[in-house]
């Protein structure tokens, strides 16, 4: 009797456990379905917000063209060309030698022009381009177009900057560098890697610090794309579940592509650098297709902690991490010993960068007013539009300096014009327009945009004064009049005629009579 009672209790317990297990599995199934729908929705739509970019006009160069050497070199630096002491061997490098500029042109990909980069020599004498020729063949070049400069971006609240790339554009040695740094068994697991977790625990205990993480690339993607960085057991369980679901829904190469476009690589001032496409330009000034194995290892090594391993933060720590990644590549047969030895001896040479800042600020404000009439702020911050303008950055720089020096010269020659109060200084404006087209080449709306954003070119309302007279005279000549014509100005409106008469008198032209039917 006692035996049957115990058996009954055991059966009840087993049934209860089975029921709890079935309920848990049902709940997990429903929860997994909800997560899978969310993942599918996020990945099937527009995956990232890409800020729209405003560009200057491109620059034409030709023999005989007048150039300001210092402004020209500044332009090349803004275009991302890096000075080197030797003859430029790769795209984006340049060398200045006396009156000549040697540069290896970058590839140019614009909606209206495509050109592969090539080595070029530009000779400048007496403020003008004397000649342009191919640096290797010596073939003369009669016309060259330099690409536009980036003026600003319409960022969203995240202030993330990225250039999307396809996995087909990523060289094999770059993929292997990331696998060696983050997940060597990526193509052999299904989202979770127990062996990787055990290996990481062993290595970290052996060295007494965090040498290796146990998260797979898929887990990192789930955390970065869907979750927060909160360190909790529940968040980790959700991350693991999402990693398995992602692996069931997508192919390995697609997961790797999303990961490489999503991952964080450091900070450019107030702007976050996200994605491999942006990182290669940020650190080396070149597209992903052109980076070498040691450069790939450096960038892959940064992912673990950009604030620690970035070459802009600590070059020695960056070098050690790069060499560690290359050593992992060599141990797996992805890098030969000879290539490894040559690579570890290479110095760390990032291209350098300028923190993000809006250039030609008054012009950009004027442009923004026009663009936002066509696109919403939301669209501008996420659609990744390329907006090409007519601004000439060299003319803009010259105009800004001319206004500043001109106002300083006026204040020096007439001390009564000088104001000590901030915001009340003597002001001015410069507008440079191309006469044949009306294109705006430069716009300076005030002395200092940080002090006053009031644009004295577009917002100030003032009398034109005598500057209006040539336009009146030109209009009269367009209607058939000439300096010998006569005007009669009795009994009629005099709104513009007195200006015309005074202008004529200054040219020693007698007053003339306006024929009947052309008055008013």
488-497: which pairs have CB atoms within 8 A and are 24 or more residues apart?
488/513, 488/514, 488/519, 489/514, 492/519, 492/520, 493/520, 496/472
Please identify which of the residues 149, 182, 239, 262 carries the catalytic annotation.
182
Strands of 119-125's sheet in order across? 82-83, 93-97, 100-104, 119-125, 128-134
Q: Which residues contact 74 (CB under 8 A, 6 or more apart)?
A: 394, 397
- Give the number of other CB atoms < 10 A from CB of residue 316: 9
**Known catalytic residue at 466:** yes
CB 491 within 8 A of CB 501: no
Enumerate residues 6+ apart whose C-beta is below 8 A from 373.
none
Q: Which residues pair with 61 in a beta bridge?
A: 144
CB of 439 closer than 8 Å to CB of 402: no
Report how far Cα 265 is from the mean position of its chain's Cα atoms.
14
For residue 440, the cross-strand partners are 433
Say what the alpha-carbon torsion angle 425, 426, 431, 432 is, to the nearest 10 degrees: -110
Q: For residue 370, give the 3-state DSSP assignment.
A: helix
Residue with tokens 């040697």: 102
52 has catalytic annotation: no
User: What does the alpha-carbon distance between residue 199 and residue 195 come to, in Å, rounded to a whole number?
Assistant: 6
**Catalytic site residue from 12, 70, 386, 466:** 466
For the annotated catalytic residues, the residue numbers are 182, 466
């Amino acid at each position: 009797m006692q035996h049957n009672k115990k058996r009954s209790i055991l059966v009840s317990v087993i049934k209860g456990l089975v029921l709890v297990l079935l309920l848990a599995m049902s709940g997990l199934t429903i929860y997994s379905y909800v997560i899978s729908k969310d993942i599918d929705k996020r990945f099937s739509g527009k995956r990232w917000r890409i800020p729209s970019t405003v560009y200057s006009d491109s620059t034409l160069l030709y023999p005989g063209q007048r150039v300001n050497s210092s402004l020209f070199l500044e332009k090349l630096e803004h275009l991302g060309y890096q000075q080197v002491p030797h003859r430029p061997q790769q795209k984006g490098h340049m060398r200045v030698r006396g009156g000549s500029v040697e540069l290896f042109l970058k590839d140019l990909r614009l909606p209206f022009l495509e050109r592969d980069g090539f080595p070029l020599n530009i000779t400048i004498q007496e403020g003008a381009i004397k000649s342009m020729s191919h640096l290797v063949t010596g073939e003369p070049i009669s016309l060259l177009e330099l690409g536009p400069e980036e003026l600003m971006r319409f960022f969203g609240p995240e202030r993330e900057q990225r250039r999307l790339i396809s996995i087909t554009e990523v060289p094999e040695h770059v993929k292997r560098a990331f696998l060696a740094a983050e997940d060597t068994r990526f193509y052999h697991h299904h989202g979770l890697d127990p062996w990787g977790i055990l290996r990481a625990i062993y290595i970290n205990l052996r060295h007494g610090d965090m040498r290796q993480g146990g998260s797979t690339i898929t887990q990192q993607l789930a955390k970065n794309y869907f979750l927060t960085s909160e360190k909790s057991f529940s968040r980790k369980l959700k991350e693991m579940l999402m990693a398995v679901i992602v692996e069931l829904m997508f192919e390995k190469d697609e997961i790797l592509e999303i990961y490489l476009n999503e991952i964080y690589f450091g900070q450019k001032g107030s702007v976050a650098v996200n994605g491999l496409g942006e990182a290669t330009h940020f650190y080396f000034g070149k597209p992903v297709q052109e980076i070498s194995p040691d450069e790939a290892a450096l960038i892959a090594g940064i992912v673990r902690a950009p604030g620690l391993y970035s070459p802009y933060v600590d070059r020695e720590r960056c070098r050690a991490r790069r060499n560690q990644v290359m050593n992992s590549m060599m141990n797996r047969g992805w890098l030969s010993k000879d290539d490894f030895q040559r690579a570890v001896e290479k110095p760390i040479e990032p291209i350098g960068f300028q923190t993000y800042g809006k250039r030609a600020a008054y012009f950009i404000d004027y442009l923004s007013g026009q663009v936002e009439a066509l696109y919403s702020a939301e669209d501008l911050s996420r659609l990744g539009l390329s907006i090409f303008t007519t601004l000439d950055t060299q003319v803009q720089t010259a105009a800004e300096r001319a206004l500043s020096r001109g106002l300083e010269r006026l204040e020096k020659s007439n001390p009564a014009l000088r104001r000590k109060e901030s915001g009340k200084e003597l002001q001015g404006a410069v507008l440079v327009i191309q006469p044949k087209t009306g294109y705006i080449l430069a716009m300076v709306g005030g002395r200092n945009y940080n002090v006053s954003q009031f644009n004295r070119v577009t917002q100030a309302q003032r009398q034109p004064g005598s500057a209006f007279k040539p336009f009146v005279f030109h209009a009269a000549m367009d209607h058939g009049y000439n300096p010998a014509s006569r005007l009669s100005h009795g009994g009629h409106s005099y709104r513009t005629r007195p200006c015309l008469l005074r202008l004529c008198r200054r040219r020693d032209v007698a007053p003339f009579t306006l024929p009947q039917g052309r008055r008013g």
